[in-house]
Amino acid sequence: MMKQIFRNNQAVFGAGIILLLILVAVFAPKIAKYDPAFINIQSALLGPSLEHPLGTDSLGRDLFSRMIYASRIALLIGFIAMGLALGVGVIFGSLAGYFGGKTDSIIMRFADIMLCFPRFFLILAVIAVVGPNIFNVMVIIGLTGWMGMARLIRAEILSLKTRDYVSASRALGASHFFIITKHLIPNGIGPVLVSFVFGVAGAILTEAALSFLGLGVQPPNPSWGNILMEGKAVLGVGWWVIIFPGLAILITVLAFNLLGEGLRDALNPRVER
């Protein structure tokens, strides 16, 4: 699989961008020149320069430093939210696929009900009730994103549970837990991992949209979304406040999508090598 991914130039490019973003997020205090929350009204709306590579915002805060720290929040929310969705989806999908019958019907009908609600508006409604902060955003995005993964792992397990090695393991007295965790999930996780990668891109985009609406990450914590929201009021005189966070969101989401496409091709046996 790794060989196939490395042969895919787009996937390698996407993985390289993601690795660079992770390094930037980890070493943010070393890379950023200024405190992202430091306000200096005298330096408000300065254009890109050597002192401020991406300019400053309406409060004189260094945009480059804020963008660097915002990458931490974007990746943190993306990975943790989809990690939660992956865990819930694998558990529910595995139980539904393995046991079938009423268990399958209950879990899948619950997933169908969840899918009936427009996801973004459901997230908006829940956040409006519980309040906007980083933790709530991560949990709510995760708990509203497991249904597709559950369907994928269920479909894989429905096929895998009839294989001879599963029957042999059952005949030897293996428990349901052992069969599910040692045989079924490891062999059926491939499509779910692809969905996870695409889901991280979706979670980052959702967080940016929520922050832009004022229901995501709250100031003074920097987020690409709330930087866009703050720049909306000064678009006519400070174009850089809008352009750079928009490009960051675009490049990040594109990188995860390219990696997801490469991973999907590498795991698809029908793709010609």
pLDDT at 117 exceeding the cut of 90: no
Domain assignment present for 46: no
Query: Using one digit for the tens of pLDDT, what is the confidence trace for 120-129?
Result: 888 888 888 8
Cβ-proximal residues to 59 (8 Å cutoff; 6+ apart), any chain: 39, 40, 41, 44
CA distances (Å), origin 91, targets 100, 103, 109, 195: 14, 12, 15, 15
> How is residue 82 written in tokens?
């989809």
Domain of residue 111, residue span: 2-23+61-267
Domain presence at residue 48: no
Average pLDDT in the 61-84 region?
94
**114 domain-assigned:** yes
Task: Report angle CA 158, 165, 176 to the nearest 5 degrees.
Answer: 60
pTM of the model: 0.90
Supply φ then ψ for residue 47, to 5 degrees: -70, 170
* Rg over CA atoms, the chain: 22
Query: Is 42 inside any structural domain?
Result: no
* pLDDT for 8: 83
Pair 196, 89: CB distance under 8 Å: no
Q: Is 229 within a domain?
A: yes
- What is the rounded distance in angstroms from the CA atom of residue 200 to the CA atom of residue 130? 23
| CATH number of the CATH domain containing 177 | 1.10.3720.10
For residue 16, tell me if it sits in a domain: yes
Would you say residue 253 lies in a domain?
yes
Establish if 175 belongs to a structural domain. Answer: yes
